[in-house]
Homo-oligomer: A and B are copies of this chain.
C-alpha cells in the first residue's frame, strides 16, 4: 500500500523571507511610484514597483543573487553557469562577481552586441554556441563537466523563484492596501514568486499574470489546466518569449487567480505612457501589466493595483513608435 503525501512544489513563503534577508545587502530597495495621470487614464489606483531601477536594470538580479548566495562554499568555488542572452545572464554575472566567483554564460553567436557587452561589463565569461537549443544545452553541459560549475536556470528553479518573490514583499510593505497585484509572465519565475510572497504576507490580495496575446502559453496553459509550451511567439515584449516550466506552472496553477493578455499595440501604448507620464524607461515586457489594465478596463476599473515594472533594458537605437 502506498501513501501519497502532499508535496510542496516550489519554495515556501519562509524561503522568500530568507531570500530577502540573504540578498538585502546586495540589491537596491527600489521605490514604489504612483502617477495621478495614469490613474486618471485607467480609472484605477496604481502602485508601481520600479524593478527597472534594480541593479542590472531588472528584477532578475534578485533571483540570481539568491541562487548564488545560497551555494555552499564548496559549490561556490567552482563557479556558476547558465545559458541565456537576456537579463538573467547579466544578473548572474553580477551576482557571481559580488560573491567573488566565476560565472560562465553560454550565449548564441548571434546575440545582440549590447547584451554581450552587458555580461562582459559585469565580469561574466562568455562561451558562444550555435543559435539552437541543442547547441546551448550541449555547450552548457561541456562547461559544467569541465569546471564543476553549478547550473543556475533562469526561472524553473526554487532559489530563483524565491528571490523573485522578494520584489512583491517590498511592494506590499510600501503599499499594503492593494486589491490585486499584476506581474508579467514569461517563464513564470516572477509571477510564481510573487504569488508565494503575496499568499504568505497578504493572503486577501489577488495575484494575476499579464501576458502578450502573441506569446500566450501561460494564458492557455492556465485555462487548459495543463502545460502547453509556447511555439511561435511574436511579440515586442522580448523578455516574455519563453514557456512556463513545470515548477512555475504548478505554482501559478495553484496560487494565481487569473491571467490576462494584451495586444501588441496596447503594450506599445502602455510603454509610451509610462515613459511620457512617469519619465521612466521601462522595457516592453514591463509594460504588459499596464496594457492588460487598459485593455480590460471593465474588470480593473476602481481597483487598487500593484504592478511590478520588471525591467528597463531597451535598445534605445530602436524605434518603438
Contacts and interface: CB of A to CB of B under 8 A. Distances in A.
Interface in A25-47: 31, 33
A312 B31 contact: no
Contact of A57 (B53, B279, B312): B279
Nearest to A37: B121
A126 B282 CA distance: 34
This protein's copies in its complex: 2
A314 to B, nearest CB: 8
Contact of A275 (B33, B278, B281): B281
A298 interface: no
Contacts of A53: 33, 278-279
Interface string A67-111: 000000000000000000000000000000000000000000000
A279 B282 CA distance: 7
A316 interface: yes
A319 B57 CA distance: 23
A321 B316 CA distance: 8
Interface string A297-321: 0000000000000001000110101
A92 B280 CA distance: 24
A57, A275, A279, A321 pick with most chain B CB within 10 angstroms = A279
A218 to B, nearest CB: 26
A33 B279 CA distance: 14
Contacts of A316: 272, 275-276, 321
A164 interface: no
A52 interface: yes
Interface of A: 31, 33, 52-53, 57, 272, 275-276, 278-282, 312, 316-317, 319, 321
